[in-house]
């Protein structure tokens, strides 16, 4: 199964808190064999929610690309959805 996306909205948290939380989630997921890409955006007063979501989405796709490169460089294979074959 592939392609599920989830959103976690934090309020009044620092960027370091978010990064630490992502690290904890990655660590927990690594014990399951599941790989997950993360993207985030720190929203300020000038940034609307749609823009923040787009920025986080772009960051997630960049993270996904880096994960793919690391898997392939380590000699691993990428799993594909049946519809992609």
Give the pLDDT score at 85. Answer: 39
- Supply 14's token pair: 């620092």
Taking residues 48-69, report their average pLDDT: 92
pLDDT tens per residue across span 1-48: 456 788 999 999 999 999 999 999 999 998 998 888 999 999 999 999
CA distances from 78 to 52, 56, 71, 73, 74 (A): 29, 23, 7, 11, 11
Give the pLDDT score at 83. Answer: 47
């Amino acid at each position: 199964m592939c392609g599920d996306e989830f959103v976690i909205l934090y309020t009044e948290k620092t960027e370091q808190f978010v990064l630490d939380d992502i690290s904890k989630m990655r660590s927990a997921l690594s014990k399951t064999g599941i790989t997950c890409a993360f993207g985030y955006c720190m929203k300020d007063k000038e940034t609307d929610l749609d823009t923040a979501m787009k920025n986080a989405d772009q960051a997630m796709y960049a993270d996904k690309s880096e994960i793919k490169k690391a898997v392939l460089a380590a000699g691993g294979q990428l799993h594909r959805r049946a519809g992609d074959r």
